[in-house]
Amino acid sequence: MSQSPPIYLDHQATTPVDPRVLEAMLPYYKGDFGNASSATHAFGWRAEAAVEDARERIAQCLAVDPNEIVFTSGATESNNLAIHGALNATPGKAGSVVATAIEHPSVLEAATAQRAFGHRDVQVPVAASGLVDPSEIAAAIEDDTTLVSVSAANSEIGVLPDIAAIAVDCHERGVLFHTDAAQAIGKIPLSLADTEIDLLSFSAHKIYGPKGIGALYVRRRRPRIKLRPLVFGGGQEGGLRSGTLAVPLIVGFARALELCVEEQEGEAARLRGLREKLRLEIERSVPEAVVNGDLEHRLPGNLSVSIPDVDGERLLLDLRGLAVSSGSACSSGSGEPSHVLLALGRDKELARATVRFGLGRGTAEAEIAAAAGALAAAVRKQNSR
Ligand SMILES: Cc1ncc(COP(=O)(O)O)c(C=O)c1O
């Protein structure tokens, strides 16, 4: 008996490559396979031209200069480059990084790892809404603070803190500001033209582009940000990230971002409508469900709900027909409750009994009713045991 595939509602984990993106990439796997660093022949020149064109288009989407875009393997590497790079830019000088307690592990672990180099890391708590009060960030800045890192959108609960205000505070105190925009880019308006953001991480596979490519925006003027590279070698990307450039992925990345920016307004409204439909349906059929995180300052396609008095593991098993994410750290295989939900004040059991719905480009209205129905049935099944 063939089983239909689960309904994909995990767009915060990753997204399918848009066919328009794949089409843009294909020539660079075929005839145009050159190395962008080969300066002696046409294969290299064409590859280099494709990379520079992509860089320009990405820069345009963010209203920044093309030479402020550094290609990496993804947001994990971009976050590591920003944190490691800023703290170790001046050899022998100890610094510190201030981040919120709900940052992605690639920020928090990168910050903790800096202890081995003589630096400090500070975690600032968030409110029950998941939002951080900018004044709490300002209060955590000390004389040795090099960098503040606050994500533009949280990966689990989708909340959108006031990063523009935090960035202004940072510059007033002479501190760099980094934001992890892996979840935010292409989903909410994000122009860097009039912001004080110094470093911004993003990734292609969250925006219907290919996996394995991302970028770090590095401010070049007022002030020019100095970073120590993580990867040394042939000196690509202005010496900040050596290694042969992934031309097809870079071309796909640019197309993916352009499409998201072009379609952002309409798609955001559509997803917000579907998300609200899902929320209201769950509110009606599972009234005990608790929504995690602020609803107003939130990604349009994200809904995270916790269900009191149910076994989280069993809940996920009973939701096999839905591709959703749980409230535990599955990425590490540890099954530990999510640090984000604990930081919101949820207890361990409630944190484990959490479902993150990530709606996206492929999500249809009929799937919303099916998802809400599946959740209600899974909860009823446990309550009747
Ligand atoms: C907020 C955030 N930062 C960083 C990452 C890591 O991105 P990548 O998979 O591109 O390394 C993710 C992906 O889960 C994320 O949601």
Q: Which of 61, 170, 260, 330 is catalytic?
A: 330
259 touches 21 (CB < 8 A) = yes
> Which residue of 160, 180, 332 sits with most ligand 1 atoms within 8 Å of its CB, as the best mutation to test the pocket?
180
Element (H, E) at 284: helix 247-285
pLDDT at residue 32 above 90?
yes
**Best CA proximity match to 228, nearest among 214, 209, 242, 215:** 242
Class of domain 19-258: alpha beta
Domain with CATH 3.40.640.10 in the chain: 19-258
Cα of 1 from ligand 1 centre, angstroms: 37
Measure the CA–CA gap between 35 and 56, rounded to whole angstroms.
19
- 302 ligand 1 Cβ < 6 A: no
- What confidence tens digit (pLDDT) does each residue in 157-215 have? 999 999 999 999 999 999 999 999 999 999 999 999 889 999 999 999 999 999 999 99
Band (361; pLDDT cuts 50, 70, 90): very high
CATH of 7-15+264-383, one of 3.90.1150.10, 3.40.50.720, 3.40.30.10, 3.40.50.10420: 3.90.1150.10
Rounded mean pLDDT of the chain?
A: 95
pLDDT at residue 328 above 90?
no
Domain with CATH 3.90.1150.10 in the chain: 7-15+264-383
Element (H, E) at 377: helix 365-383
Give catalytic status of residue 260 as yes or no.
no
pLDDT at residue 332 above 60?
no
Q: What is the pTM of this model?
A: 0.97
Measure the CA–CA gap between 306 and 103, rounded to whole angstroms.
20
